[in-house]
């Protein structure tokens, strides 16, 4: 073997582990969520209710970016310009603000850090990543240029209904099945939002009324990605944050209910599932 081929073998021998160590990617996801909202039919006819449902559907169409390497990721919503306000014949305008939350997952350590805002205050939620008990299925399909495999997860969820008086009308617990599609062609145990734990990047999620689909992927972009956990906010664990969030939500609904007393309108909103 001459000197030229010896040099090529040496270069490839060292290049492969360096590439594996520096492996990075950026995936863009589009999500949509179905929201159940029931209104008093004596106050709003079918056309008005449909218009409000359409507004909600559009407001919950969002776009997110997942920056990842082999061990960690950062997931956040992409900012978008607000559309001009258009008058509604129902007299109701619905606005869902963009989320400022940043989710950092360290899949190697099994931990996460989430920077989130609750009624104007910034919190830094730090906790362990729940390990999903995925069931690997035999089904496969293509998403873009990637061969994907199906996995499912069954879990119990709580669904709470709130009335306009700020009271909890009902709380039910039921089982639901989460279905995802992942690709081993991108060997990271990661995915959008809290979904992770499979032998490949998750490209599609169907979680009850929430749908998430990957629309583009860039592997090893020219500009190196700096994947760091957020560090601003009051440190709290997930269970404490959930309790605080529910308390603040009930306070907000009670306060708004007192301001609306006597208007005769009834709205029921389902949260959860």
pLDDT in tens, 85-113: 444 555 555 445 556 899 999 999 999 99
With beta carbons less than 8 A apart as the criterion, state whether 103 and 194 touch.
yes
Mean pLDDT across the chain: 79
pLDDT at 79: 81
Work out the average pLDDT over 108-120: 94
Residues facing 122 on adjacent strands: 117
Token pair of 172 as six digits: 């039910």
Whole-Å CA distances, 147 to 20, 41, 98, 183, 215: 21, 47, 32, 6, 15
- Looking at the predicted structure, is the pLDDT value of residue 41 above 90? no
Confidence of residue 19 (pLDDT cuts 50, 70, 90): very low
- Looking at the predicted structure, is the pLDDT value of residue 5 above 90? no
pLDDT at 232: 94
H or E element in which residue 189 lies: none
Work out the average pLDDT over 256-266: 55
Find the range with the poorest average confidence among 81-90, 114-123, 141-150, 199-208.
81-90
Confidence of residue 248 (pLDDT cuts 50, 70, 90): confident
Work out the average pLDDT over 53-82: 83
CA dist 243 and 195 (Å) reads 22
pLDDT at 153: 96
The number of beta carbons lying within 10 Å of the beta carbon of residue 125 is 22
CA dist 32 and 204 (Å) reads 12
Which residue carries 């869902």 as its tokens?
96
pLDDT in tens, 153-203: 998 877 766 555 555 556 778 889 999 999 999 999 999 999 999 999 999
Token pair of 261 as six digits: 């007393």
CA dist 80 and 93 (Å) reads 19
Work out the average pLDDT over 7-29: 58
Percent of the chain scoring above 90 in pLDDT: 52
Token pair of 108 as six digits: 């190697």
């Amino acid at each position: 073997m001459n000197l030229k081929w010896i040099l090529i073998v040496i270069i490839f021998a060292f290049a492969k582990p360096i590439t594996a160590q520096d492996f990075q990617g950026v995936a863009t996801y589009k999500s949509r969520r179905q929201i159940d909202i029931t209104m008093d039919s004596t106050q709003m006819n079918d056309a008005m209710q449909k218009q409000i449902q359409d507004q909600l559907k559009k407001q919950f169409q969002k776009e997110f970016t997942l920056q990842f390497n082999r061990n960690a990721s950062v997931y956040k919503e992409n900012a978008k310009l607000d559309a001009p306000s258009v008058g509604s014949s129902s007299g109701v305008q619905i606005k869902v603000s963009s989320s400022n939350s940043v989710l950092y997952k360290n899949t190697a350590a099994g931990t996460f850090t989430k920077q989130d805002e609750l009624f104007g205050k910034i919190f830094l939620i730090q906790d362990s990543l729940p390990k999903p008990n995925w069931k690997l299925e035999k089904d496969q399909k293509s998403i873009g240029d990637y061969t994907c495999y199906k996995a499912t997860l069954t879990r119990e969820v709580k669904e709470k209904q709130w009335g306009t008086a700020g009271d909890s009308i009902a709380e039910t617990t039921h089982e639901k099945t989460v279905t995802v599609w992942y690709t081993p062609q991108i060997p990271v145990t990661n995915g959008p939002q809290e979904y992770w734990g499979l032998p490949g990047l998750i490209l599609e999620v169907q979680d009850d009324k929430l749908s998430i689909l990957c629309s583009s992927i860039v592997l090893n972009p020219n500009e190196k990605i700096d994947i760091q956990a957020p560090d601003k906010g009051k440190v709290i664990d997930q269970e404490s944050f959930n309790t605080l969030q529910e308390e603040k939500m009930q306070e907000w609904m009670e306060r708004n209910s007192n301001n609306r007393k006597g208007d005769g309108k009834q709205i029921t909103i389902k949260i959860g599932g």
